[in-house]
């Protein structure tokens, strides 16, 4: 529990080890901190060890690469250890890395999915960057948000979402753990280095992006710069969309009686990869030229409306049985239902609609909505993670659903949008806060964050299959309205056409938004554009484009279309 204000606690967390003679001694001494002098008196540092500088680790294909790391003190600890519902053991566990050669800055690495993992505390900069915050000299923290997927995992209570049956674990996941860990990390930094950080940054994607936006609203004085990528800032509503999409896409295998081994409609088989390639080409045919250049990137994505795409999809509809290179009418209907967004029986929107974009043919799109075609059973992330999250965490009271077998998909297929969807606003018994209240990060009122001098930079892929870019744009527009058209003084949004969730897709998904944020915070240089590069798995490896501050988009001027310098944001 917190027994004093954050500022007072930081003052009391004196640099008692700063005079230790060596970094090794100062690091080891962190295991003996006086908990009474910390913001949260329940702090336990379970380990603290000095790590030698290490060489870069390169893996085939680049996935899992780790850059060379500096000498640093690695700290693992916990807060608020307790016994919760169903005798589950809970704690907010954190992981820190404190470089010996410190740049006097603090970096909080946001989580992902439903968290429950300690994180590596390297400091992911997002934008597919090859370095990390630790290498750049930042003191870095990550955390599990108050539950442990390996411990709080009852297969009869939604598996890794078991924490949804414990109210405090819900609140820790929603907002409390980020508050507690921020205060604790800053106090540990002052203890180790003898001074508080001069600048603080929060960076995350997906759930981490939600956390980032939430921080700007609930704890506006904690961070100077915040980078929110592909943010799930309306996660409970996006979870409703997962149920909607699952039901819409299930209509395709139902029509042909294609079931998985559990006897459920085999949604993975609703579209072949070739089918989705046809859809992507149709979308490009409808919208690629809207930006003045047919280059495989729909830069003017805001103009790519369903009314333009529908005739192209209609033209793809099979006119006869066994016709090649076409879609069935049921497939077209399912896609259009998905992209229109979820609604109740009154036609009221329950989440956002979606933008048609070229990334629909990318594995990063289908793995969420459909699952990979050759998987042995239903495997979409919507049907697995999404089902457990909405049943255990985002609706109240939580609904027990077995974590394996047909149960997760059946829950989504049976989801009633009139009776179940309102449960994201419900309170019940021991659950005194609705998920919409403890998870939301959609307030357009950022007056306190603006007064603090904070800067918020947001990026989002137009082909994101889990959080709609349209929803993010609506929020940005609302913030701009609240701020009299001057929100860009402290909030800037950059869309990435073709990019799926947090990266991937036919896109220029390699960009250093964090460097742009730091320059904005520390040099008062707000970014109007960020140069981005296409990866090796795109149709145009090495292509560069400017990502433009919304609502501007790249206009071709002259020169090579593979070079960002040939474009102007306007």
The residues near 123 (Cβ < 8 Å, ≥ 6 apart) are 97, 107, 109, 132, 133, 134, 135, 136, 138, 140, 203
User: Active-site residue 501, yes or no?
Assistant: yes
Question: What six digits make up the tokens of 122?
Answer: 């390297």
User: Active-site residue 428, yes or no?
Assistant: no
Residue 511, beta-bridge partner list:
532
Judged on CB neighbours under 10 Å (0-12, 13-18, 19+), 185 is: buried
The structure tokens 């994505």 sit at 301
Question: What six digits make up the tokens of 133?
Answer: 């915050």
DSSP 324: S
Catalytic residue, from 179, 501, 512, 566: name it. Answer: 501
For 511, the 3-state DSSP assignment is strand
194 — phi, psi (to 5°)?
Answer: 85, 5
What is the distance, to the nearest Å, from the Cα of residue 56 to the centroid of all Cα atoms in its chain?
Answer: 26
Which residue in 450, 440, 519 sits closest to 487, CA to CA? 450
**Measured on CA atoms in the order 27, 31, 32, 37, is the torsion positive or negative?**
positive
Catalytic residue, from 144, 166, 291, 464: name it. Answer: 464
Distance in angstroms (rounded) separating the CA atoms of residues 246 and 372 = 14
* Contact call for residues 486 and 478 (beta carbons, < 8 A): no
* Contact call for residues 497 and 507 (beta carbons, < 8 A): yes
Helix (H) or strand (E) holding 255: helix 235-255
Query: Which CB contacts under 8 angstroms, 24+ apart, belong to 518-527?
Result: 518/201, 518/225, 520/225, 520/455, 520/457, 520/492, 521/199, 521/201, 521/224, 521/225, 521/455, 522/199, 526/455, 526/488, 526/489, 526/492, 527/457, 527/492, 527/494
**Measured on CA atoms in the order 362, 365, 366, 371, is the torsion positive or negative?**
positive
Distance in angstroms (rounded) separating the CA atoms of residues 378 and 165 = 26
What pTM was computed for the model?
0.95
Which residue in 247, 212, 223 sits closest to 333, CA to CA? 247
Catalytic residue, from 142, 145, 200, 206: name it. Answer: 206
* Contact call for residues 380 and 367 (beta carbons, < 8 A): yes
Q: How far is CA 372 from CA 10, 270, 363, 427, in A?
A: 49, 10, 7, 37
User: Active-site residue 452, yes or no?
Assistant: no
Does a cis peptide bond (omega within 30 degrees of 0) precede residue 397? yes
The structure tokens 């800032």 sit at 233
Tell me the pLDDT of the chain (570 aa) as tens digits.
Answer: 444 444 444 444 444 444 446 889 999 999 999 999 999 999 999 999 999 999 988 877 666 678 999 999 999 999 999 999 999 999 999 999 999 999 999 999 999 999 999 999 999 999 999 999 999 999 999 999 999 999 999 999 999 999 999 999 999 999 999 999 999 999 999 999 999 999 999 999 999 999 999 999 999 999 999 999 999 999 999 999 999 999 999 999 999 999 999 999 999 999 999 999 999 999 999 999 999 999 999 999 999 999 999 999 999 999 987 678 999 999 999 999 999 999 999 999 999 999 999 999 999 999 999 999 999 999 999 999 999 999 999 999 999 999 999 999 999 999 999 999 999 999 999 999 999 999 999 999 999 999 999 999 999 999 999 999 999 999 999 999 999 999 999 999 999 999 999 999 999 999 999 999 999 999 999 999 999 999 999 999 999 999 999 999 999 999 999 999 999 999
């Amino acid at each position: 529990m917190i027994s004093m204000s954050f500022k007072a606690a930081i003052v009391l967390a004196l640099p008692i080890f700063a005079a230790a003679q060596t970094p090794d001694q100062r690091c080891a001494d962190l295991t003996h901190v006086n908990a009474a002098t910390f913001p949260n008196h329940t702090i336990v540092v379970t380990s603290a060890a000095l790590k030698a500088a290490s060489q870069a680790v390169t893996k085939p294909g680049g996935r899992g690469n780790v850059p060379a790391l500096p000498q640093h003190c690695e700290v693992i600890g916990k807060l608020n250890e307790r016994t919760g519902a169903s005798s589950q053991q809970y704690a907010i566990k954190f992981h820190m890395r404190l470089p010996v050669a410190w740049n006097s800055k603090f970096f909080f690495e946001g989580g992902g999915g439903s968290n429950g993992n300690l994180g590596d505390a390297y400091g992911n900069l997002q934008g597919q960057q090859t370095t990390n915050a630790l290498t750049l000299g930042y003191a870095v923290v990550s955390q599990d948000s108050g539950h442990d997927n390996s411990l709080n995992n009852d297969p009869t209570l939604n598996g890794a979402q078991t924490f949804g049956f414990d109210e405090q674990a819900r609140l820790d996941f929603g907002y409390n753990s980020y508050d507690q860990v921020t205060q604790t990390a800053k106090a540990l930094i002052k203890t180790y280095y003898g001074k508080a950080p001069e600048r603080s940054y929060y960076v995350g994607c997906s759930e981490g992006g939600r956390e980032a936006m939430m921080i700007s609203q609930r704890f506006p004085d904690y961070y100077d710069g915040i980078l929110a990528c592909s943010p799930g800032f309306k996660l409970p509503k996006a979870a409703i969309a997962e149920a909607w999409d699952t039901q819409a896409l299930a209509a395709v295998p139902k029509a042909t009686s294609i079931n998985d081994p559990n006897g459920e409609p085999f949604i993975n088989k609703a579209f072949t990869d070739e089918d989705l390639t046809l859809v992507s080409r149709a979308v490009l045919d409808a919208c690629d030229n809207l930006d003045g250049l047919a280059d495989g990137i729909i830069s003017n994505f805001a103009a790519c409306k369903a009314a333009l795409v529908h005739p192209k999809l209609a033209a793809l509809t099979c006119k006869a049985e066994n016709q090649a290179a076409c879609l069935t009418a049921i497939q077209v209907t399912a896609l259009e239902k998905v992209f229109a967004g979820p609604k109740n029986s009154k036609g009221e929107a329950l989440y956002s609609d979606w933008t048609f974009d070229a990334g629909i043919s990318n594995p990063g799109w289908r793995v969420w909505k459909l699952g990979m075609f050759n998987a042995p059973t239903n495997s979409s992330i919507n049907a697995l993670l999404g089902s457990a999250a909405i049943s255990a965490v985002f609706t109240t009271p939580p609904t027990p659903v077995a974590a394996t077998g047909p149960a997760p998909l059946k829950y989504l297929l049976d989801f009633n949008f009139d009776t179940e969807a309102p449960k994201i606003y419900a309170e019940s018994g021991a659950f005194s806060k609705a998920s919409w209240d403890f998870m939301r990060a959609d307030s357009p009122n950022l007056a306190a964050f603006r007064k603090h001098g904070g800067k918020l930079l947001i990026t989002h892929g137009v082909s994101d299959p889990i959080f709609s870019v349209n929803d993010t744009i609506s929020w940005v527009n609302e913030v701009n309205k609240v701020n009299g058209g001057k929100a860009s003084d402290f909030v800037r949004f950059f869309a990435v056409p073709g990019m799926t969730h947090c990266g991937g897709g036919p896109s220029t998904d390699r960009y250093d938004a964090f460097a742009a944020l730091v320059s904005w915070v520390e040099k008062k240089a707000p970014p109007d554009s960020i140069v981005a590069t296409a990866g090796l798995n795109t149709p145009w490896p090495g292509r560069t484009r400017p990502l433009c501050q919304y609502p501007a988009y790249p206009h071709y001027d002259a020169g090579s279309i593979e070079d960002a310098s040939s474009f102007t944001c306007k």
